[in-house]
Amino acid sequence: MADVTTWGFIGLGHQGTPMAERMIGAGLRPWLWARRAEVLDRYATPDAVTAASPAALGAACDVIGLCLYDADATDHVLFGPDGLMTDIRPGTVLAVHATIGPAAVRRLADRVAERGVHLVDAPVSGGDTAAEGALLVMTGGDADPVARCAPMFATYAGRVVHLGAVGTAQTAKLVNNALMTAITGLVFDAFALGEALGLDPDGLGEVLANGSAANRSVDVHRAIGADAFSVAAWPTLHKDVALAGELGVPTDRLLDVASSTIDEMHRRRTAP
Domain ranges within the chain, ordered by starting residue: 7-164, 171-270
Do 118 and 141 touch, CB atoms closer than 8 A? Answer: yes
Contacts of 5 (CB under 8 A, 6+ apart): 62, 63, 148, 151
Is 239 annotated as catalytic? no
Do β-strands 118-121 and 124-125 pair in parallel, antiparallel, or remain unpaired? unpaired
Indicate if 171-270 has the same CATH topology as 7-164.
Answer: no
- Position 1 scores a pLDDT of 41
- Position 44 scores a pLDDT of 87
Catalytic residue among 118, 173, 221, 239: 173
pLDDT one digit per residue (tens) for the chain, 272 residues = 456 899 999 999 999 999 999 999 999 999 999 988 889 999 989 999 999 999 999 999 999 999 999 999 999 999 999 999 999 999 999 999 999 999 999 999 999 999 999 999 999 999 878 879 999 999 999 999 999 999 999 999 999 999 999 999 999 999 999 999 999 999 999 999 999 999 999 999 999 999 999 999 999 999 999 999 999 999 999 999 999 999 987 768 999 999 999 999 999 999 98
Beta strands of the chain (E only): which ranges? 7-10, 31-33, 49-50, 63-66, 93-96, 118-121, 124-125, 135-140, 157-164
CA dist 167 and 160 (Å) reads 16
Q: Which CATH superfamily is domain 7-164 in?
A: NAD(P)-binding Rossmann-like Domain (3.40.50.720)
As a CATH number, domain 171-270 is 1.10.1040.10
CA dist 63 and 96 (Å) reads 11
